[in-house]
Copies of this chain bind each other. A is one copy, B any other.
Amino acid sequence: MPSGRPAIPLDRILSAALRIADEEGTQALTMRRLASELNSSTAMLYRHFESRADLVLQIVDYVFKEAELFALPFPQTDWRQACRSLARRMFAVLGQHRGVAQLLLEATPNGPHAMVLRERCLAMMLDNGFAPPLAARAYATLARFVLGFAIQVGRQDAAQSAAFHQLDRAAFPATYALADELPVPLEEEFAFGLDLMIAGLEAFTF
């Protein structure tokens, strides 16, 4: 092929990387795998990214932009609903992209989209009468709560549910009695924990 071949656009690299991470898991996202997916070489990738960690950073920002979390409408009338819907949306997005939550552990998102989202959320809390220290702690805690649960998506043992019914009833009476309720699906744990935290926040806002 002659000399006029264009450089591979960044968007195409990132979407290919995201697809690999989602479909085959984070560990399958290697520089060689990504390069071969693009019919190119690993050295070419180092023209776009300083390192594998840098690639990860750019993928995270790409997802934030794709999800347009920052564009969520905030019904300022009720901070409970605003917090609930934002947290759920964020959890859903991170859960959908398996690899991204794990990547988020390595680098806190300080890209432009994440900053706008934080600003809008903090402003909403202040508008609703949250004292400044409470707003800061509430936002930080909720954000970390979402990430902490999102990172655990898809890690449940399938074989675990049957084990609770085969326990020694005498040694584990309480666990045996709750065998029908265990294990709790992660999504339900998330929703329940979120409701508990919002209910707990009520006590701080009069």
Contact = CB atoms under 8 A, between A and B. Distances in A.
A15 interface: no
A107 to B, nearest CB: 8
Contact of A193 (B126, B145, B177, B199): B145
A155 B200 contact: no
A72 B183 CA distance: 23
B188 A199 contact: no
Contacts of A108: 155-157, 160
A111 interface: no
Interface string A171-206: 111110110011110101100110111111101000
Contact of A141 (B119, B147, B193): B193
A12 interface: no
A137 B189 CA distance: 7
Contact of A186 (B119, B120, B144): B144
Nearest 8 A-B pairs (CB), nearest first?
A: A148-B148, A196-B200, A136-B181, A199-B200, A123-B174, A140-B184, A122-B174, A200-B200
Interface of A: 105-106, 108, 110, 115, 118-120, 122-123, 126, 132-133, 135-138, 140-141, 144-145, 147-149, 151-152, 155-157, 160, 163, 171-175, 177-178, 181-184, 186, 188-189, 192-193, 195-201, 203
